[in-house]
Structure 1
Amino acid sequence: MARSRPRGWQFPLTYGTAIGVAAIGSAILIVMLFASINKIESSLPRFGFFAIREFHIAIRDVTHLRDMISLAEGAPNSQESLDQLSAANDLVYIRFKRIDGSETISAIPAYAGVVPRVNDAVTRLDAVLSAGLPLDQKSLKELGFELEQIVGRMNDEYYKYGEEVNADLYSSEVSLKRFNYQIAFALTILSLLAIGTAVLFIGRRETIKKLEFLAWRDATTGLKNRAWMAANRDAMLDRTKEAGKQLQLLLIDLDHFKSVNDTFGHHVGDLLLKAVAEVLESVERPGEVAAVRLGGDEFAIMAIADQDSHEDLGQRLRERLNGFAELEGHQVRVGASIGMACFPQHGSDISTLLHNADSALYTAKAEGRSGFVTFSPAILSQIDMQLGEEAGIKRALNCDEFFLVWQPQFELATGRMTGTEALVRWRDPVSGAVRAPASFIPIAERSDLILELDNMVLRKACVQAARWMPITTEEFVCSVNVSAKSLQADAYLTHLTETLRQTGLPPSRLQLEITEGIFIQNSRDALESVGKIRNIGVSLALDDFGSGYASFGYLADFNLNQLKIDRSLLSDLASSTKKQNVVRGIIALANSLGLTVVAEGVENEAQLDFLIREHCHGAQGFFMSEPVEERLMTNYLAARQGGVRLEQFQEKCVTVFRPELRKNKEIERFAVSVKR
């Protein structure tokens, strides 16, 4: 067998082809660019001077015609004056007839307005000349005055345009020369780069290593990326098994990251991601703990740890990530929910660990965010139940299984009913059982179903409130609860406006009840939403005031109408001096801000007596009335207006609107009116 000759170093065909094409292309490009630039340089000055020259000649001819008119005015019977004037007029006619429509007008826009005026003057002068001697001095005087104005305007435009053209031409000349050098430099660099590609293969191994390094890293944060995790996770699991340790897999999701982007901009959002990355990088240990950015606002930690260290890392991260960061002058909350699954307790392979860690993360976010949850088998049952409940709520919305009940609100000074709050209920179509809001509202709030539910409640409430308008006073207001998610949704205001229009309900008869949580989540967006709602005439009440995030700053900044004292402050009110002082303070605060106060959850006479003594504006609760269905509320309102016989309504009324109210003399008028 013949021995093959050893192959020496060969120039790669791809590099040679690239260099040749780049060199030829660069040469052609240089020639074409310089030819084009030289052409532009030579043409622009000529055109600019041409326009000035033409305009100058036109001014000269019109000025000469004006002078001939002046001479003719002095010798109206002279044939010589007639001949000179005719010659000057013909010259102007030929000049403007030839120039009209040429590039002079496009170069000097003001010239377009002069041409028709001059042509008109020439035509009128022809008529004077045609009449013969003696010349019409009045017409000559008018034409002379008009041409004087035209000459003045043309002179103004001439000097103005001339200065601009000179400046532009000089600037263009300088710029073009500079552009020549820039293009030459750029093309030289491109040519060098094209030649330099010939030596790239020398360092191709180092380049490949650098590219591989970049492929494993996230561009924004510098953390390892999803591709690195996919390539190395099994190896980490194998090392964990060999060492007899546990592998902790933590999934981290930032809370309200979209709000940060929407409020402060994506630049601040990127700074927040980098701040989180610094925290995660601080716990990294080569070969043992790796921090990964999975994408968006999702991160992961893979850690090889001892069997007895179950939650130390997760708790440390939760504490460090849930705080505030100073980002370009903005105080930004860095909140994160964390879910963790461990090998071998929660799965024997990475896919199972990822699924279980994601279930733990889902639970952490469902429990109120900013939490840390370790996976347990019970979590899967909870998630299944959650998903089942969500599916049930979706079906109930589609099948119209939700209905409203109404809890009356009373003015304590007079005992009259001033409005009613719409409360949603869910009737099971099979068993007929009615579910209270506490059993499904939290589930709806964890998903976007709360948006559909709020829209449905608003629509039903407005429809019913509109039906009650003939049997209620103008001060009668229907209150509807709205979630923070709905209030911050762009479509809610549109839905609110459209619902009021379709139902014919005046905005003054509707009140939206919001909670303090919206001000904590995003006060800027909340302020904007509240302002838009108030602008259309709908009133706003701050519900559950005093139950959590209460802040006087919110009351000063937001244009509210009413405070609703949370029912928790009324429990043990008669025996708790502290709660009495808190309620007094809330009433005083509301009075100082011009807000009305309604106490929720009034369940006994002692609570009612205290509220009356402290001049609380209104109250609602089981002591006055349980929530009633639409039919009974309609009958009561009609009875108050004399629409039905009270004898037919009295028995039901006594069972709903508690007779104990009659014991209080300050609202005796209300009780008597009901009995009558």
Structure 2
Amino acid sequence: MVRFGSRGWRVPLTYGTAIAAAVACSAVLITVLFLSLSKIESSLPRFGFFAVREFHIAIRDVTHLRDMTSLAQAAPGSADSLEQLSAANDLVYIRFKRIDGTGTTSEIPAYASIVPRVADAVTRLDAMIAAGLPLDEKSLKEMGLELEHLVERMNDEYYKYGDEINEDLYSTEKSLNRFNYQIAFALAVLSLLAIGTAVLLIGRRETIKKLEFLAWRDATTELKNRAWMSANRDVMLDRARLAGKQLRLFLIDLDHFKSVNDTFGHHIGDLLLKAVAEVLQSVERPDEVVAVRLGGDEFAIMAIGDRHAAADALGDRLRQQLNRFAELEGHHVRMGASIGMACFPEHGSDISTLLRNADSALYVAKAEGRSGFVTFSPAILNQFDMQLGEEAGIKRALNCDEFFLVWQPQFELATGRMTGAEALVRWRDPAAAAIRLPVSFIPTAERSDLILEIDKVVLSKACLQAARWMPVSADDFVCSVNLSGKSLQNDAYFAHLLLVLQQTGLPPSRLQLEITEGVFIQNSRNALNALAEIRNIGVGLALDDFGSGYSSFGYLADFNLDQLKIDRSFLSGLESSKKKQNIVRGIIALANSLGLTVVAEGVENETQLDFLIAERCHSAQGFFMSQPIEENLLTKHLIARQGRMKDADKFRLSLSA
């Protein structure tokens, strides 16, 4: 017997032994359970989504360093190239030396073999930068290739490491489910250990929450993520099918999100994503409407609703709320989004089909000018197939050199002499057995970014021909080339411009780039910087189609232009429209007051020409004086008109010459 206290309480020895054995077993079981819990928590990825984000940023910085290396190779003697290369190199150095919360970036497994190579590249680039100008082109080329290999390697590791994290998370969740059975067994055996059990339950609950958040939620916006959608999308579809309701799938893609990151920084970009998430969360309803972040700037909404309700009501509401300005830490940032929608059962009987059709509708929404909402229809597939076929044709034309130039002469109205010519691209399309005009393929090229390559081809051909005309043309003879807004925002175009001028030997003063007012709408600051670089090397700038789009006197004050081109729509019917005559007079007066030359486009008859001469318009072009002609014919006219003054026939070129 065992005595307890002064009262002489006695506990049988067998009971005491049993209690002692139970306590010992309980201690062992509790220890095992805590060890299991610790094992589960330790099996969570040490770096997890932090590493994926760090990888994404590191890839961006190394890619930027590669691009700066390419720019430096194109202009090895440029101080700006040296400064940009040095800044990019410093950024990579800081990224790979920065200390995070759990260790250095080199401790992340996927970084282990990459960090030394990047560090070596940074060291060698430091040596090249320290050597000063001009930079060694051969070494820069070798370094560019090495950085290209590093970027490819980092992209491979990025996706590989992300997949490994997802596998670890799912494996941990299975281990945790097994742990639930261990806890149930422990509760049945160790009912006396209420405190220990409570602690275990609390630890289990917190671990589940952490795991569920990592597995099913996006860390930035706290919306459900792609993994959740993959696991639950069919559940939503089955729920709609059993209820006899409609499932609407909205795909949402932010417009110009990259510009926000580039202009204001990734911190503001993350705040914009959170603002978008707040809008999407405002329309969520339990078991009926779910918002998901698919990744990057892509989102989705799955909504179960009545089939007789307006299918586009939610889409219109989202479009209105997502296309507005947001105040983000003092920055006035536009929150723009394009939306595509497909419905079950009208547009597909499974989620994969709905996703594909909603993506096609989203593509059309972006192609129609962004910030729109488009519902899928069978006609979209036909349009999509035509778009893909047209893109393939343009790619073939670029590879087979099927694009060529014709030239629209420009005449000085005071003297009648030819002062320049505008390069107009044409497509000799063997599939259509015809010569295609820009209006038939340029819209497709702009939507698919093939316009970047077309602009480069046109610039190269135009500068080469302009250089050949130098011996037979006046010193102020200028060749004009159209420049798209996408090329203006692309750094590679300016590098290509420098290279072409160097290779052809064409003086920059003999080249003029024509831009439209639309390039200023999305990001005027970027446009201002790009145009300043072009003006600094001596290339002229003209504002094409003035008055036809987003006319603003602010553009004329902010941008250092040389010329305004009056849109042809103001010349059509000019002789019978007093309003158009007054508009043309106003444009000419405005340009003269700003010291800009004026070129009137689309002159088609003598009355229009006489009006422009009377109003002291500087120059004109149009079918009345000459249709667009090929380079050999224009060469003959330049030779024939060399040194001649105004002809009696109002400057018209004979196309039979």
TM score, norm. by length of structure 2 = 0.69
Deviation at 1:470, TM superposition (A): 0.4
Report the residue type matching 2:296 in the other structure: G
- Cα distance, 1:279–1:588 mapped onto 2, change above 3 Å: same
- Cα distance, 1:213–1:560 mapped onto 2, change above 3 Å: same
Counterpart-to-counterpart distance in 1, 2:37 and 2:299: 42
Name 1:11's counterpart in structure 2: 30
Name 1:433's counterpart in structure 2: 434
8 Å CA contact 2:626, 2:652 repeated in 1: no
Matched, 1:563 2:582: no
Deviation at 1:14, TM superposition (A): 7.8
Matched, 1:636 2:637: yes
Name 2:585's counterpart in structure 1: 584
- The CA RMSD measured in Å over matched residues stands at 2.8
Name 2:263's counterpart in structure 1: 263
Report the residue type matching 2:228 in the other structure: W
Name 1:118's counterpart in structure 2: none
Counterpart-to-counterpart distance in 2, 1:455 and 1:403: 12
Counterpart-to-counterpart distance in 1, 2:198 and 2:236: 39
8 Å CA contact 2:406, 2:426 repeated in 1: yes
Deviation at 1:205, TM superposition (A): 2.8
Aligned length, in residue pairs: 476
- Cα distance, 1:404–1:242 mapped onto 2, change above 3 Å: same
Counterpart-to-counterpart distance in 2, 1:540 and 1:446: 24
Alignment of 1:618-637 (within 5 A): 618-637=619-638
Q: Secondary structure of the residue that 1:438 maps to in structure 2?
A: helix
Q: Secondary structure of the residue that 2:426 maps to in structure 1?
A: strand
- Cα distance, 1:489–1:675 mapped onto 2, change above 3 Å: closer
Alignment of 1:323-472 (within 5 A): 323-429=324-430, 432-472=433-473
Matched, 1:547 2:548: yes
Q: Secondary structure of the residue that 2:616 maps to in structure 1?
A: coil
Deviations 1:603-628 (A, max 9, x none): 22222222222211111111111100
- Cα distance, 1:329–1:607 mapped onto 2, change above 3 Å: farther
Deviation at 1:480, TM superposition (A): 0.3
Name 1:210's counterpart in structure 2: 209
- Cα distance, 1:495–1:201 mapped onto 2, change above 3 Å: same
Name 2:83's counterpart in structure 1: none
8 Å CA contact 2:247, 2:345 repeated in 1: yes
Report the residue type matching 1:357 in the other structure: A
- Cα distance, 1:243–1:673 mapped onto 2, change above 3 Å: closer
Counterpart-to-counterpart distance in 1, 2:656 and 2:33: 102
Counterpart-to-counterpart distance in 2, 1:673 and 1:231: 72
Name 1:31's counterpart in structure 2: none
Counterpart-to-counterpart distance in 1, 2:278 and 2:321: 11
Report the residue type matching 1:267 in the other structure: H
8 Å CA contact 1:15, 1:198 repeated in 2: no
Deviation at 1:672, TM superposition (A): 11
Gapped runs of 5+ residues in structure 2? 1-20, 39-195
Name the stretch that deviates more: 562-571 or 400-409: 562-571
Deviations 1:213-260 (A, max 9, x none): 413222111222112222221111111112211111000001110001
Deviation at 1:569, TM superposition (A): 1.9
Deviations 1:487-513 (A, max 9, x none): 111111111011001001000000000
Deviations 1:115-150 (A, max 9, x none): xxxxxxxxxxxxxxxxxxxxxxxxxxxxxxxxxxxx
TM score, norm. by length of structure 1 = 0.67
Counterpart-to-counterpart distance in 2, 1:413 and 1:674: 23
Name 1:283's counterpart in structure 2: 283
Counterpart-to-counterpart distance in 2, 1:240 and 1:328: 41
Deviation at 1:431, TM superposition (A): 5.7
- Cα distance, 1:462–1:18 mapped onto 2, change above 3 Å: same
8 Å CA contact 2:37, 2:204 repeated in 1: no
Name 1:479's counterpart in structure 2: 480
- Cα distance, 1:468–1:246 mapped onto 2, change above 3 Å: same
Name 2:105's counterpart in structure 1: none
- Larger radius of gyration between Structure 1 and Structure 2: 1
Deviation at 1:429, TM superposition (A): 3.0
Alignment of 1:111-260 (within 5 A): 201-214=200-213, 215-260=215-260
Report the residue type matching 1:203 in the other structure: I
- Cα distance, 1:328–1:17 mapped onto 2, change above 3 Å: closer
Counterpart-to-counterpart distance in 1, 2:545 and 2:303: 43
Counterpart-to-counterpart distance in 2, 1:405 and 1:362: 33
Q: Secondary structure of the residue that 1:514 maps to in structure 2?
A: strand
Deviations 1:97-131 (A, max 9, x none): xxxxxxxxxxxxxxxxxxxxxxxxxxxxxxxxxxx
Name 1:536's counterpart in structure 2: 537
Q: Secondary structure of the residue that 2:574 maps to in structure 1?
A: coil
- Cα distance, 1:674–1:234 mapped onto 2, change above 3 Å: closer
8 Å CA contact 1:601, 1:621 repeated in 2: yes
Name 1:521's counterpart in structure 2: 522
Deviation at 1:212, TM superposition (A): 4.3
